[in-house]
Amino acid sequence: MSRLSSLLGRPLPRSAAADERLPNVQALPILSSDALSSVAYATEAALGVLILGGSAALGLSVPITLAIIALIAIVVLSYRQAIAAYPNGGGSYVVARDNLGRNVGLVAAAALLIDYTLTAAVSLMAGTQALSSLVPELLPHEVSLSLLLLALVGWANLRGVKEAGRVFAIPTYAFVVMVVLLTLAGLKDLTFHHGWAPDAPPVVQGLEPIGLFLILRAFSSGCSAMTGIEAIANGVKVFKEPAPANARKTLLVMGVLLSAMFLAVSGMGFMYGIAPNPKVTVLAQIGMRVFGENSALLWALQIATLLILVLAANTAFAGFPRLAAMLAEDRCLPRQMSWLGDRLVYQNGIGVLLAFTAVIILICRGDTTVAVNLYALGVFTAFTLSQLGLVRRWARLRGEGWQGRMLMNALGALATFLVLVVIVVSKFDEGAWTVVIAIPLLVAGLARIRRRYRQVYAAIAPAEGMAPLSCPPRTTATGHHCIVWIAGLTMPSFEAVRYACSFADSVTAVMVLEEADEAGLISAEWDRLVGTQTGNLEFKLLDSPFSSLLDPFCDYVEQEEKQHPERTTTVVMPMAIPRDRLDMTLLNQRALNLFRALSTDGSRVFSIVRYYVEEPA
C-alpha cells in the first residue's frame, strides 16, 4: 500500500457509493454538528451585545432566545418542504437557480461558500476557547491549536464519508448528553437548592442605552444558532433510502434538539446571573455553577463541547465541496472542483476549504468575535433566496396543497429577510460590510468563469461538415503506433487524432467514461462526427471502476507497451490553448495530470498537439 493510501485509506470503487450512504443515526451528527454546536456560543454572542447596555440588559436574553426558536421552527418547516420538492438535494443554490434564475442562484451560492468557510473557522476557534476555559495556560496557543484541529478534520473528511460519520457520531451525541445532564442538574439545583429567583448578574456600567437597536444587534448575534440548518437539505444524497423521508425526519429531530438545548443554556444563564467573560465561556460558567469547579462532569462537558465544535466544521467540509462540485458542473468554477477522489469525496473542494479556513483563523488570531458577527449574514441570504424560490415554484406548479406550501415558504422568506436586514444594519460597522462587498465580487467571478467556459466550449465544438478522419494502410510500415487521449469530442481531440494519423501506422483514440451508461451515446456521436470508414483508426472506450479517469488510461498504455514491445508507442495529448492565459486554470487540468502520471511511470514518447482557441469577434 502506498503512503497516500495508508494516510487516506484504500481507493473505493464507484459501486461503493451507495454503501457510503448513512443511516439517520450517523447522518444526524455529520450534518447537524454545526447547528447543534452553536448552542455553545449563540447565547454568549447575544449576551456579548446586551452587556453593552449594562447588567440590566442581560435579562433580555430569554425573550431573544424565544424569538430565535420561533424563527428556527419556521426555517425547519420550510426546509422540510424544500427536501420534498428536491429529493436529490434542495439547497439554496439549486432552489434559487431553478426558480429565480441562474444569476440569483449564484448569489445564494456565493453566500453559502462564504458561510461554509466562516463556519469552519468559527467552530474551530470556539472549540479552542472551550478548552482554554478549562485550561487557562492554553490561551496563548489558541491559533496553533485551531490550525491543528483544522488539519485533523480535513484528514478525517479525506478518508471518506462513512468513516467521517463514524468519527463524528460519538462526540456529537456526547455533547447532546452532556447538555441534557447539565439541564437536569440545573433543574434539580433550581428546584431544591437555589430556588427560582434569578441571581443578579455582576454589576456592569452600561455603555449604550437599552433600546431597539441594541436588542436587534443582540438578536442578530444570537441568530448564529441557526447556521447549519440547511446542511441536511443540501445533503439528502448522504442518507440511506428512502433518502428524502429520512432527511425530513432528521431535520425535524435536529430542530427540536437545537431549540431545546438553546433554551436550556439561555435559561440557566439568566437564572444564574451569568455575564460574558473573555477568559471563560458562558457554557463553562454554567457548568461550574451546576457541576462544580474542576469536577469530572465539568471536564466532560468542556471536552464534549470542544469535540463537537471541532466536528461542527465538518458541516462545512460536507457542504462546501459538494456545492463547489455543483458549481463546477454548471461551469461556474473550474472543472477540477467536481472531480471525485479515490475515497469518493471531492478532495479538491476539501483542499480549497482547508486553505481559506486557515487564512481566516490566522487573520482573526483565534478570536471568534468578528467572525461570529459575519457568518450569519451569508446563511440568512441563502435562507431568503431559497424560500423565495420555493414560493415561485409552488405558484408555478399549483399542485395539491400548493397554497398552504406557498404560504409556509412565504412566511419563511419574510422572516429570514427581516433578519437579514437586521444583521446588515446592526452589524455593518462591525465587519458585515466585508461580506456585503465579498458576495457581489464572488458572484461576478462565478459569472465570469461561466461566461468563459461558454465561449471556449463554443469555440472548440466540432465544426459542422468537418472532414472525416481516417488512417489508411501505409505502403511502408514504420512500426509506429499512437495512443491519443480523448477528454471529449472536441476540435482539439480531433486535431490530435488527425496529427497521429499523419505519421503512425495505427492509431487508437482512447476515452475513459465517467459513467458506463454513456458508452452508446458517445460511440454514436463519434461515428457521426468522424465516420465509420476510418482504416487503422480505432476508437476505444474504457470503464473506470474507481473515481480516477487517469488510471485506466495509464494502465492501457502500459498494457499496450508490454504486448507490443516491437513497435514505438507515442502518447498524443491534445491541449486547448486559449488566448487568455488565465483560462489555463479552466482547461487541460486532466491532461496535465495525465502527463505527470505517465512521465513518472516510465520512459515514453509524448506528442502534445496544441489547438489555439479562436476568440469570437
Average pLDDT in the 152-165 region?
68
Q: Is the Cβ–Cβ distance between 413 and 459 less than 8 Å?
A: no
Residue 584 CB contacts under 8 Å (≥ 6 apart), including other chains: 578
Of 435, 451, 467, which one is at a domain's C-terminal end? Answer: 451
Instruction: Please say if the pLDDT value at position 141 is more than 90.
Output: no
Instruction: Please say if the pLDDT value at position 573 is more than 90.
Output: no
Asked whether residue 6 is assigned to any structural domain, the reply reads: no
Amino acid at 170: I
C-alpha cell at 491: 476540435
Q: In this predicted structure, which of 203-212, 239-248, 405-414, 583-592 has the lowest mean pLDDT?
A: 583-592
Asked whether residue 456 is assigned to any structural domain, the reply reads: no
Average pLDDT in the 557-580 region?
84
Is there a single domain that holds both residue 266 and residue 220?
yes
Instruction: Please say if the pLDDT value at position 546 is more than 80.
Output: no
Is there a single domain that holds both residue 308 and residue 424?
yes
Is there a single domain that holds both residue 532 and residue 596?
yes
Is there a single domain that holds both residue 273 and residue 207?
yes
Of 433, 451, 469, which one is at a domain's C-terminal end? Answer: 451
The span from the CA of 74 to the CA of 583, in Å, is 44
Domain that holds residue 329: 14-451
The upper half-sphere exposure of residue 147, i.e. CA atoms within 13 Å in the direction of its Cβ, equals 13
pLDDT at position 532 is 72
Is there a single domain that holds both residue 233 and residue 325?
yes
Is there a single domain that holds both residue 487 and residue 410?
no
Instruction: Please say if the pLDDT value at position 15 is more than 50.
Output: no
Three-state SS at 235: coil
Asked whether residue 421 is assigned to any structural domain, the reply reads: yes
Verdict on whether the full-model pTM lies above 0.85: no
With b for 16 or more beta-carbon neighbours within 10 A and e for fewer, the 22-60 pattern comes to beeebbbbbbbbbbbbbbbbbbbbbbbbbbbbbbebbeb
Q: How confident is the model at residue 6 (pLDDT cuts 50, 70, 90)?
A: very low
Using CA atoms of 186, 191, 192, 196 in order, give the dihedral in degrees to the nearest 10: 100
Average pLDDT in the 14-28 region?
66
Average pLDDT in the 441-445 region?
92
Asked whether residue 39 is assigned to any structural domain, the reply reads: yes
Is there a single domain that holds both residue 410 and residue 486?
no
Is there a single domain that holds both residue 425 and residue 495?
no
Is there a single domain that holds both residue 201 and residue 328?
yes
pLDDT digits (tens, 9 = 90+) for 418-429: 888 888 888 787
Asked whether residue 469 is assigned to any structural domain, the reply reads: no
| CATH code where residue 553 lies | 3.40.50.620
Cis preceding linkage at 242, omega within 30: yes
Secondary structure, 3-state, 526-591: HHHHHCCCCECEEEEEECCCCCCCCHHHHHHHHHHHHHCCCCEEEEEEEEEECCCHHHHHCCCHHH
- Which string of DSSP letters, residue by residue, matches 243-288? HHHHHHHHHHHHHHHHHHHHHHHHHHHHHTT---BTTB-HHHHHHH
Is there a single domain that holds both residue 505 and residue 443?
no
Asked whether residue 93 is assigned to any structural domain, the reply reads: yes
Instruction: Please say if the pLDDT value at position 188 is more than 90.
Output: yes
Instruction: Please say if the pLDDT value at position 11 is more than 80.
Output: no
Phi and psi, residue 252, nearest 5°: -65, -45
Of 434, 451, 468, which one is at a domain's C-terminal end? Answer: 451
Amino acid at 106: L
What average pLDDT does the structure give for the chain?
83
Asked whether residue 484 is assigned to any structural domain, the reply reads: yes
With b for 16 or more beta-carbon neighbours within 10 A and e for fewer, the 347-360 pattern comes to bbbbebbbebbbeb
551 compared with 413, residue with greater pLDDT: 413
Instruction: Please say if the pLDDT value at position 18 is more than 60.
Output: no
C-alpha cell at 537: 483508426
Is there a single domain that holds both residue 207 and residue 81?
yes
pLDDT at position 602 is 64
Asked whether residue 463 is assigned to any structural domain, the reply reads: no
| CATH code where residue 426 lies | 1.20.1740.10
The upper half-sphere exposure of residue 435, i.e. CA atoms within 13 Å in the direction of its Cβ, equals 33
Domain count, the chain: 2
Q: Is the Cβ–Cβ distance between 130 and 300 less than 8 Å?
A: no
Q: Which of 451, 448, 415 is nearest to 219 (CA)?
A: 415
Identify the DSSP state of 471.
B
pLDDT digits (tens, 9 = 90+) for 494-505: 888 888 888 888
Is there a single domain that holds both residue 414 and residue 486?
no
